[in-house]
Amino acid sequence: MSEIVLENLGKTFGDFTALADMNLTIANGEFMALLGPSGCGKSTTMNMIAGMLRPSTGAIRFNGRDIVDVPMAKRGVGFVFQNYAIFTHMSVRENLAYGPRAQGVAAAEITKRVQAFAELLQLETMLDRPAAGLSVNILQRLAIGRSAILEPAIFLLDEPLSNVDAAFRAVMRSELKSLQGQFGQTMVYVTHDQLEAMTMADRIAVMDHGKLLQVGTPLEIYNNPADAFVARFIGAPGMNILEGTLTRHADTVSAEVAGLGSVTLSPAMQGAAALQAAREVQIGFRPEQINAADQGLTMQVTFVERIGARTIVHMEQGASLAKAVLPADVPPPVAGDAWTFAVPDDAIRLFDPVTGRALGGRTH
Amino acid sequence: MTNASTMEPVAERPAASASTGAGLGLWLTLPAQLLVLFIALFPILMQVYISLTDWSPLDGIPWWRAHELWIGLLNYTDLMADSRFWGALWRTMFVMAVCVPVQFLLGLGLAVLFVDDFHGKRVLYSTLLVPMMVVPAVAGYMFFMLFQSGGPVNDLLSLFTSDPVRIAWLSDPDLALIAVMVADIWQWTPLMFLILLAGMISVPQDQQMAAILLGASWWRRFFTIVLPRMKSIIIIALAIRVIEIFKIFDTLFIMTGGGPGVATETISVYIYKVTQQELIWSYVAAIALAILIVLSVVSVFAIKRMQRGQGT
C-alpha cells in the first residue's frame, strides 16, 4: 500500500499544456477517480504516475519518495488498460504467470501464486483456456489479477469500462469495487463517466483543460461543486446554470434572472452574495430540486422526456436553458406551455460569472 | 469455391429461397466457375498428358496427338535417375536454406531498428527498399560487374590485405554460388524487411506496455509478445521467399549462366537448358510437375500453420 502525492505536477507537449500545477494527495488504500472530459489531462496524469510519461514540472511521491526517475517497471504500479491488453496468444495461466516469470520468481512459487489468485478471482476452472475469446468481465478480472499477482502498492485503471455495453457496466462496477475491497490497494481510476466515478470512488478529482478543479467525496462534489464546470459535469442531467443579478432587500437577498423571475437566497448564501461586488452572478440549482409552484421562475417548456421512474422537462426562455427532473408520479407540464417552478433556497449555488468558481457559503 | 448464398438474388419468399436460391446461385455462377476451373486446370492437365509422352515440337505433330508417342512413366523414372536434376534440386534447396534465414534475420533486425522513430528514418527507409525495385536483370549485370576478378568486391577486400585480392568469384565453382546468394540477399532482404516491419508495427502497443509494467525485459517482450504476435506474417514472408527462391533464375542466369559447369545450376536454370538446348519438352513437363507438387505441399503446409496461428 502506498500514498501518492502529486506536487505542482505539469506536462507540456511543445506549446500545448496538457496538465498544469496539479496538487493532489491520494491516501493509502483510497479509491480515487480522476474524472473529466477527454483532453482534460486525466490520462496524462495517470501515465505520469505509471511512468509512461515524464513530468515537465513538479514531483510525484510514493510514500514520500520522489519516483520521477524510477523506471516504470520498478515503480510497483499495476496498470489496467482500457482494453485490458490481455496477451490473447497465451492461456489464462500464462497471463497470470507472466509478471512473476519476468521478475524471476521461482517456478514452484509461481505455480502456488497463480493457483491462489485463480481461486481468489474465480478463474481456476479456465486456467488452461486460451485468453482469446473470454468474456469481458473475465478479461477484467484477469487483467486485474495479472497485475495484482505482483502485489503492486498502487493500481491504475484507465477507463476499463468504456468498451463495455451499458447493461453490463453495473455488473463490472460492483465487481471492480469488491476486488478493490479484497486487495485493499490504492487505486487511481481514470474515467469520463461521472456515474462510474460517483458509484465507485472514495474521492473524485474533477479535471478540465489540464486543471484540477475540485477534489472531494462524491456527495461533496455533487452538493457543493467548487466550479460551474464541475456543477454542469456532475449529475445526469447536470446542474442548471442561469445568468442573474443580485438584489438586496430589507433583510434578504434575492437573485433575479432576467425575464424569468427571482429566487431568494438562504441566509448562508447571503453572506457570500455580499462579497460579490459586481452583483452579476451565475445561479446554479440541481434539476432534481425543482418543484412546480405558483411563483418563482417561469420558463417555456420545449419538450418532456418520460424515462420511467423520472420525467425530464426541458425548458427555455430567451438565452437561458434549464432542465427539471420530476418524479414519475408528479404530473409533468405540457410542451409549449409556460411553467412556473420554485427552487428551495438551500438548493441555490452561486458562481462567479468570470472565473466560474463557487461563491462561498458551503451548506451541508 | 464461391459462396452461393452471397450470390443469391432477392427472392420473393425468403423462407423458401434457402434451398432453391442456393441451387439458382450455383447455376448462375457455373459458367464463371467453369472458366476459372478451365484456366487453372487446363495447363496442368496438358502438362500431365505431355509428360507421359515423348513429344517435342520438332516431331511435327500437334500436341494433342502426342499420345502417338506414349511412353508412360518413362520420363518420371528417368527423372528419378537424373543426377543433374537431383544436383540442381539440392543446390536450389541449399540456396534456400542459406538465403531465407539470412534474409529473415537481416529483415527482422532492420525491422527492430525501424519500428521506433529516429532522425533520418524516412530517407534511410526509402534507400533500403531500392534493391527490391531494381529490375533483376539489371541487378544481375551489376553483380556480374561487382564480382569480376578486378571488380569492386575484390578492391574492397584488398583494403584488408597486404596483397591485392584477385579472386575469380564467378568462374570458381566453389565461390560462384556464394556470389549468387549475395546478390539474392541484397535484392530480397528489403522485401522481408518491409513485410516484417508491417507485422511488427501492428503488434499492439498496449500489450508491450503491459509487459514492461509487469517487469519484462526487452528480450522477454520480443520473444513472448512481439514474435508470437507476428507469427502469421512471418509465415507469409517465409513462404513468399521460399517459393521465390525455388524459382530463382534471372539474376543468377545473367551472373553465371548456371556455371561454371553446373556449379550454380538451379532447378529453373536446368529446366531452361533442357527446354532450349535439348528440346525434350515432355521431360520438362515431368520436371515442372514434380516441382509443382513439391511447392504445393510446402504452400499447403504453410497455410495450415498460418490458419492455426490465427486460431489462437
Q: Where are the domains of chain B?
A: 4-69, 82-279
**Nearest by CB: A89 against B206, B213, B228:** B228
CB A84 within 8 A of CB B247: no
The complex's ipTM works out to 0.74
Q: What are the chain A neighbours of B233 within 8 Å (beta carbons)?
A: none
Residue A163's CB is within 10 A of a number of other CB atoms, namely 11
Percent of chain A with pLDDT over 90: 27
Q: Do B216 and A52 touch (CB under 8 A)?
A: no
Report the alpha-carbon distance of residue B166 to residue A57 in Å, rounded.
Answer: 64
pLDDT attached to residue A278: 54
pLDDT score of B188 more than 90: yes
Helices (H) and strands (E) in chain B, counts: 15, 0
A81 and B210 within 8 Å at the Cβ level: the answer is yes
**Per-chain mean pLDDT for chain B:** 84
Nearest to A176 by CA among A198, A160, A153, A194: A160
Q: Is the pLDDT of residue B7 over 70?
A: no
Q: Which three cell numbers stand for residue B168?
A: 575469380
CB contact (8 A) between residue B209 and residue A87? no
Question: What pLDDT was estimated at residue B220?
Answer: 93
The confidence score (pLDDT) of residue A273 equals: 59
**Structural domains present in chain A:** 4-86+134-223 (3.40.50.300), 240-351 (2.40.50.140)
Say what the pLDDT of residue B192 is: 95
Residue pairs spanning A and B at CB distance below 8 A = 57
pLDDT computed for residue B110 by the predictor: 94
pLDDT band for A358, please (50, 70, 90 cuts). Answer: confident
Strands A203-208 and A31-35: parallel
Q: Which of A50, A82, A87 sits opposite B213 (nearest CB)?
A: A50
A191-215: per-residue pLDDT in tens?
998 888 998 899 999 999 989 999 9
| pLDDT surpassing 90 at residue B185 | yes
User: Nearest CA to CA, how far is A169 from chain B (Å)?
Assistant: 22
- Check residues B185 and B71 and name the one with the higher pLDDT: B185
| C-alpha to C-alpha distance for A352 and B259, rounded to whole angstroms | 91
Distances (CA, A) of B221 to A20, B147, B205: 34, 41, 11
Phi, psi at residue A131, to the nearest 5°? -70, -20
Superfamily of domain B82-279: MetI-like (1.10.3720.10)
From the list B214, B229, B312, the residue facing A102 with the nearest CB is B214
The residue of chain B nearest to residue A83, with distances taken between CA atoms, is: B206
* Cα A139 to Cα B22: distance, rounded to the nearest angstrom: 40
- B212/A81 Cβ within 8 A: no
d(C-alpha A224, C-alpha B211), whole Å: 42
Residue B102 clears pLDDT 90, i.e. is over it: yes
Q: Say what the pLDDT of residue B8 is.
A: 41
**pLDDT, position B75:** 85
Q: Is pLDDT of B213 > 70?
A: yes
pLDDT of residue B64: 82
B67 touches chain A (CB under 8 A): no
> Residue A274 — pLDDT band, cuts 50, 70, 90?
low
- Residue B19: per-residue pLDDT: 55
Average pLDDT over residues A272-285: 72
Q: How far is A72 from chain B (nearest CA, A)?
A: 6
Spatial separation of the C-alpha atoms in residues B249 and B25, rounded to whole Å:
44
Q: Specify whether the CB–CB gap between B69 and B54 falls below 8 A.
A: yes
* Contact (CB, 8 A) for B280 and A57: no
pTM of the model: 0.74
Using a CB-CB cut-off of 8 Å, the residues of chain A touching B214 are 73, 98-99, 102-103, 146-147, 150
CA dihedral B298, B304, B310, B312 (to 10 degrees): -130
Once rounded to an integer, what is the mean pLDDT over residues A143-160? Answer: 86
Confidence of residue B2 (pLDDT cuts 50, 70, 90): very low
Q: Is the Cβ of B163 closer than 8 Å to some Cβ of chain A?
A: no
Query: What would the pLDDT profile of A65-113 be if each residue is shown by its tens digit?
Result: 898 898 888 888 888 888 888 998 999 999 999 989 988 889 999 999 9
| The pLDDT of residue B11 is above 50 | no
Which residue type occupies B304? Answer: K
Long-range contacts of A271-276 (CB under 8 A, 24+ apart): A271/A360, A271/A361, A272/A350, A272/A359, A272/A360, A272/A361, A273/A246, A273/A350, A273/A359, A275/A359, A275/A360, A276/A246, A276/A350, A276/A352, A276/A359
Which residues of B fall within a CB distance of 8 Å from A155? none
Which of the four pLDDT bands, split at 50, 70 and 90, describes residue B20?
low
Q: Which residues of A touch B (CB under 8 A)?
A: 50, 52, 72-74, 77-79, 81-83, 85, 87, 89-90, 98-99, 102-103, 130, 132, 146-147, 150
Give me the phi and psi of A243, to 5 degrees please.
Answer: -80, 135
Sequence-separated (6 or more) residues with CB below 8 Å from residue A35: A42, A191, A192, A194, A197, A204, A205, A206, A207, A233
Quickly state the pLDDT bin for B1 (edges 50, 70, 90).
very low
- Summarised one tens digit per residue, pLDDT across range B38-69 is 898 888 888 888 888 888 877 788 888 888 88
Query: Predicted confidence band at B3 (pLDDT cuts at 50, 70, 90)?
Result: very low
Using the predicted structure, report yes or no on whether residue B5 has a pLDDT greater than 70: no
Task: Answer whether A318's CB lies under 8 Å from A259's CB.
Answer: yes
Q: Residue A48 has what pLDDT?
A: 92
* B214 with A77: Cβ contact below 8 A: no
pLDDT higher than threshold 70 for residue B154: yes
pLDDT digit string (tens) for A233-254?
A: 998 889 999 988 888 777 778 8
User: Residue B299: is its pLDDT beyond 80?
Assistant: no
Average pLDDT, chain A: 86
Among B214, B229, B231, beta carbon nearest to A99: B214
CA B285 to chain A, closest CA, distance in angstroms equals 44
Q: What is the pLDDT of residues A290-316, one digit of tens each?
A: 888 888 888 999 999 988 888 999 999
CA-based nearest residue in chain B for residue A132: B312
A254 vs A273: CA distance, rounded Å: 9
| C-alpha dist (Å) from residue A114 to A133, A135, B88 | 21, 20, 55
- For residue B312, give how far its alpha carbon lies from the nearest alpha carbon of chain A (Å): 6
Contact B214 A83 (CB under 8 A): no
In total, chain A counts a number of residues equal to 364
| C-beta separation of B14 from B20 below 8 A | no
**Do B302 and B240 touch, CB atoms closer than 8 A?**
no
Q: Give the residue from A124, A117, A119, A164 showing the smallest Cα distance to A140.
A: A164
The residue whose grid cell reads 487505486 is A187
Decide if pLDDT at B18 tops 70: no
DSSP 8-state secondary structure symbol assigned to residue B214 = T
A211-216 vs A240-248, strand pairing mode: unpaired
Inter-chain CB proximity A77 and B216 less than 8 Å: no
- The count of C-alpha atoms lying within 13 angstroms of the C-alpha of A69, restricted to the half-sphere facing its C-beta, is 2
For B114-135, what is the mean pLDDT? 89
